[in-house]
Structure 1
Amino acid sequence: MAIQHLSSAPSAPASSRPYPMASPGYGKRPAPDQQPRRADDFMLLPLRERNIAGFIDQLPEGAAMDVKGLAKQLPLYGQQAVGSALKALSVAGYLRRVRCLVTGEGGQVRWVFRTFWSRTARDNEWWGALVGAEREQPTVAEPVAVRPETPAVPQQRTPEPVPPALEGDSAAYAALARLGRVDARLALSAADCAVLEPLAAEWFTRGVDADYLVRALVAGLPARVDSPVGLVRRRLTDKIPPQVSVTPVPPAPGTPVRRVMMECTKCGVPGRAEALPDGLCRACRQPDEGAPEVPVELPAERDVRTYVAELRDLLKAP
């Protein structure tokens, strides 16, 4: 009887149409200095992560890397499974999400969102150096595009657009009041919204909109939330994005300017590479209330087996 040998890195599923591509300048970017593709790539990963890693590895540069799009192409896994796998692959050192603030011709400023992928697992120091190198490279002005990728929100439906604030209500208050309709675990009272309004308003001064704020607050919620107002207060403080000038210093004529920062693989909150070990913010590394703190400083050099051991521990966590 013939025996079928299965590869550890499966090929992309057959499809009558090509895989959807992101807008120009966005999507998948291959990391440099990768090892040649081999049949035993990702062999040490658990089955789900091995399958998804093998699929991503064969996607072309510029392919869309959002959770919803990947789940549509992977019939065995839903959005929650894909989101969890991407988080695990980030911990294992295979990917990082990066955003670039690009100033092109005429002083036009826009964010470009990319997912760097390496079939060779890398440590935090290597990824930090890559982000630093990207920051120093010149950037060619790219077509204006709308971001096709959104942070994964496991077990959540897509947040509804936040309506304009009622008379007397600020945009921050309206966004907080909307949280309970996106996920009942974060239902806030009017008094809660009033108390948290100043913290939420600070996010708006840093260039984010209400839709971004809602996504960041509902991403990766624990199964049970005993104190919605306490959890929201902590996330408003821990996940607040950095200050980014919306009117950068004008570049020399013909020389576009680029600013690069890493973002959390799970919720999309931006930050410096050293503040996002394993590509995750503090809140997404510790999603459960009352869970022990994870040391921020990790060994600079870790081999693949160490990554896999941590990955298996992550998958066993409730």
Structure 2
Amino acid sequence: MADKDFSPALRPSAHPQAGPGYGKRCAPGQSPRRKGDFTGLPAREAYLASYIDRLPEGAAIDVKTLAKEQPLYGQQAVRSALRELSRVGHLRRFKENVGEGCTRWVWHTYFSRTARDDAWWERFEAGDVPDADADADADVGPEPVRENRASGRSAAYDVLASLGRTDPRMVLSAAECAALEADAAQWLARGVSADRLVRALTAGLPEAVHSPGGIVRSRLREKLPPEPAPEPGTRAARRRVMACTECGSPGGSVSLPGGLCQGCRGLPAEVVHRRVEELREINGSRRRKGTGTTSIQVCPL
């Protein structure tokens, strides 16, 4: 396809986040972002790949949300595009155990700007991607959170104090910031960036905000993300299981080539052709026997 820049059509800042601990994850070791990253793909897949690539960590990238938030394609087209992006190696879906001392499974969809083959995703599933594969793209992933040493305030306090700059309805008093500081600090300790925490506390607000401190308190406690998993190779490394991008059936790189189970990949063309010939033969035999029917019988493939 021709080289196109899909940036003008994208609205990543307006895209909703998934529930804390869920949503998009950026695969490690991607090449730096550059114009024309997806020019080898058909127009629809290139457009959606560019859109997803610019979304932040934790963005909701399920079919319904993507179809609603971008203007060009409906649910069926988005579903087909995600299936193709999985097949060519840009996307994989995983079920991951993020519980600390218990079992807690969440769904993550990993996106890689650099297309990966099944062998790479198999190593990634096993936690064997080398540390040297660290993502060199500085604009992907959470920014480090630093303490405000000059003011003596914590990073959590500063995030709470900044909410009013994002939405004037969410201005908190100094007493409220101090009271909620420990709750906000838990989010930062679990790897949530300051920008993402602000979005979680200010997105989707009701039209009338009567108690900003109450809303912040409720969201901080009810939507607290799970504990971060240990790094691969440690004694309690996270368990990651690949799942079909389309239907979510668990499997592995052998049973899910291209990230898709056999049912979602569709039956091979030769199987379909053979079955059609069998049906034609069955109906021809019935006509010769004088059954009086000439319709093709519908049988499951």
From 110, 122, 125, the counterpart of 2:119: 125
Following the alignment from structure 1 to structure 2, what is the Cα–Cα distance between the partners of residues 12 and 68? 22
Following the alignment from structure 2 to structure 1, what is the Cα–Cα distance between the partners of residues 125 and 10? 34
Following the alignment from structure 2 to structure 1, what is the Cα–Cα distance between the partners of residues 41 and 85? 9
- After TM superposition, the score normalised by the length of structure 1 is 0.49
Aligned to 2:272, what secondary structure does the other structure show? coil
Contact 1:8–1:54 (8 Å) recurs in 2: no
Contact 2:12–2:51 (8 Å) recurs in 1: no
- For 2:73, the equivalent position in structure 1 comes to 77
Following the alignment from structure 2 to structure 1, what is the Cα–Cα distance between the partners of residues 44 and 248? 23
CA RMSD after TM alignment: 3.2
- Counterpart amino acid of 1:91? R
1:291 aligns with 2:272: yes
1:26 aligns with 2:22: yes
1:265 aligns with 2:245: yes
Following the alignment from structure 2 to structure 1, what is the Cα–Cα distance between the partners of residues 10 and 265? 35
- For 1:114, the equivalent position in structure 2 comes to 108
Contact 2:96–2:241 (8 Å) recurs in 1: yes
From 72, 82, 85, the counterpart of 1:86: 82
Aligned to 2:44, what secondary structure does the other structure show? helix
Structure 2, unmatched stretches of 5+, are 132-188, 193-234, 275-301
Distance 1:262 1:287, change over 3 A: same
- After TM superposition, the score normalised by the length of structure 2 is 0.51
Aligned length: 173
Listed as ranges, the matches of 1:41-60 within 5 Å are 41-60=37-56
Aligned to 1:116, what secondary structure does the other structure show? strand
Listed as ranges, the matches of 1:107-186 within 5 Å are 107=102, 109-133=103-127
Deviation at 1:135, TM superposition (A): 10
Deviation at 1:258, TM superposition (A): 3.0
Deviation at 1:273, TM superposition (A): 2.3
- CA deviations on 1:135-183 (whole Å, 9 max, x unpaired) are 999xx9899xxxxxxxxxxxxxxxxxxxxxxxxxxxxxxxxxxxxxxxx
Following the alignment from structure 1 to structure 2, what is the Cα–Cα distance between the partners of residues 134 and 104? 21
Following the alignment from structure 1 to structure 2, what is the Cα–Cα distance between the partners of residues 29 and 8? 25
Larger radius of gyration: 2
- Counterpart amino acid of 1:281? C
Following the alignment from structure 2 to structure 1, what is the Cα–Cα distance between the partners of residues 62 and 247? 12
Aligned to 1:97, what secondary structure does the other structure show? strand
